């Protein structure tokens, strides 16, 4: 993966800001710059006429005394030489920087092309790798995985793992992976916070991998367990920069709880570096999460190991106290929840009882209303029946009276004749 500083286009018209480059690149550029050992012109070596002309050309009125005029001109020569020397050095530095960056960009592009070709060839030879790449991309991997892959396959996996949300534990131990694969894994940890456990024992990781992993873990918020057991992390005790970087990482990381550096050639100096950086982390109270730091079988000094063990014991005691407190809080929460549940049950039962009483009251009232309505209906029916009987009898009486009236009228008519 290219460094940001070397992926930019090199513009001949613009100066390179060396302050924005990594220290190792600045050093590489400056090593190419030829020192400027030139000296200013000696004014005292000039003749009187040349001395006079040089002063007048610079707008300075000669005094006519050789020593005075030479001293004055020498000041000008010295000032001009410093400015010219700075300009020449700046030009040399810019030329060296642009040449270096062009070469670096070309080299890294060629490296990327080579790596890509290797990965394509590996995919063609290893169908299982292509299956795993698809699983990673689709977030359908198992939660845990033990993979037998080489460095090229590891680089290919590392290009898709940063965005995976399904894999939580990955074991790449015993694969003889090189630092290129190690750096690729560090790139994964810069983006992936799903992976909780990474085992990479018995590989060929050296200081370069350790530095990249330390840089990634400075910001990683997911990994809790990292095992680098049986890796030559100090190049046979010749390079402790990775150990220093891991120590500095401990001052910032807040999620890593277990780090296994067993038999990694830390040596006496490495253990001392780790202890110093750990003390810094403890002193600043920035790392209270590390519970297990295994530095066994490394020729680490007794004093260093004791200091580290003491710091781990303090963290473990703090962790256990926190867990007890959490347990007590959880117990209290459970008891409070149980009390709340019982109270809720009682309230529910009371409410259900009240609801049952209300339903019975409504049922009784409904029944009374029904009976009353039925009584009113029958009463009305009886009234209607009595009214019909009364109306019928009245009609019958009226008809009888009309009949009798007609009979009387008929009798009266017969008497007149």
Per-residue pLDDT, 320: 84
Per-residue pLDDT, 280: 40
Provide the residue ranges of all domains of the chain, joining segments of one domain with +.
4-113, 126-300, 327-400
CATH 3.30.70.1380 correct for 126-300: no
Taken as a whole, the chain contains a residue count of 417
Please compute Rg for the chain using Cα positions.
50
> What residue ranges of the chain have pLDDT lower than 50?
1-8, 279-281, 283-285
Distance of alpha carbon 257 from alpha carbon 295, whole angstroms:
14
Q: Please count the other Cβ atoms lying within 10 Å of the Cβ belonging to residue 88.
A: 13
Would you say 48 and 65 are in contact if contact means Cβ atoms under 8 Å apart? no
Per-residue pLDDT, 238: 87
The predicted-structure confidence for 352-386, as pLDDT tens digits, reads as follows 999 999 999 999 999 999 999 999 999 999 999 99
Here the tokens at position 310 are 């003491």
Per-residue pLDDT, 398: 87
Facing residues of 259 across strands?
226, 293
Burial of 76 (C-beta count, 10 Å sphere; 0-12/13-18/19+) = middle
Distance of alpha carbon 225 from alpha carbon 240, whole angstroms:
22
Distance of alpha carbon 188 from alpha carbon 89, whole angstroms:
41
Here the tokens at position 63 are 């005094």
């Amino acid at each position: 993966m290219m460094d940001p500083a070397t992926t930019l286009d090199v513009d001949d018209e613009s100066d390179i800001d060396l302050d924005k480059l990594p220290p190792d690149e600045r050093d590489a550029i400056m090593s190419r710059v030829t020192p400027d050992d030139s000296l200013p012109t000696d004014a005292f070596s000039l003749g009187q006429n040349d001395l006079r002309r040089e002063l007048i050309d610079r707008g300075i009125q000669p005094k006519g005394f050789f020593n005075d005029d030479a001293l004055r001109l020498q000041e000008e020569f010295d000032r001009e030489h410093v400015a010219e020397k700075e300009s020449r050095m700046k030009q040399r530095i810019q030329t060296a920087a642009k040449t270096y960056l062009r070469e670096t960009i070309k080299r890294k592009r060629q490296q990327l092309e080579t790596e890509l070709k290797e990965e394509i060839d590996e995919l063609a030879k290893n169908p299982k790798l292509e299956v795993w790449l698809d699983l990673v991309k689709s977030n359908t991997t198992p939660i845990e995985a033990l993979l037998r892959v080489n460095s090229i396959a590891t680089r290919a996996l590392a290009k898709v793992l940063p965005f995976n949300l399904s894999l939580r534990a990955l074991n790449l131990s015993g694969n003889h992976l090189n630092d290129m694969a190690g750096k690729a894994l560090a790139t994964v940890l810069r983006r992936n916070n799903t992976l909780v456990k990474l085992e990479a024992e018995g590989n060929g990781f050296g200081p370069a991998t350790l530095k990249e992993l330390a840089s990634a873990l400075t910001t990683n918020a997911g990994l809790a367990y990292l095992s680098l057991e049986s890796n030559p992390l100090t190049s046979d005790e010749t390079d402790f920069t990775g150990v220093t970087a891991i120590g500095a990482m401990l001052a910032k990381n807040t999620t890593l709880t277990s780090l296994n550096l067993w038999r990694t050639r830390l040596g006496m100096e490495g253990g001392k570096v780790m202890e110093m950086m750990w003390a810094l982390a403890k002193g600043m109270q920035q790392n209270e999460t590390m519970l297990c730091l295994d530095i066994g079988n490394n020729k680490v000094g007794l004093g260093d190991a004791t200091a580290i063990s003491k710091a781990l014991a303090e963290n473990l005691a703090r962790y256990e106290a926190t867990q007890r407190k959490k347990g007590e809080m959880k117990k209290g929460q459970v008891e409070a929840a149980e009390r709340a549940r019982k109270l809720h049950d009682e309230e529910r039962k009371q409410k259900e009882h009240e609801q049952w009483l209300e339903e019975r009251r409504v049922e009784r009232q409904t029944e009374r209303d029904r009976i009353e309505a039925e009584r009113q209906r029958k009463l009305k029916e009886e009234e209607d029946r009595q009214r019909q009987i009364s109306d019928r009898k009245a009609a019958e009486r009226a008809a009888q009276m009309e009949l009798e009236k007609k009979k009387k009228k008929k009798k009266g008519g017969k008497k007149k004749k």
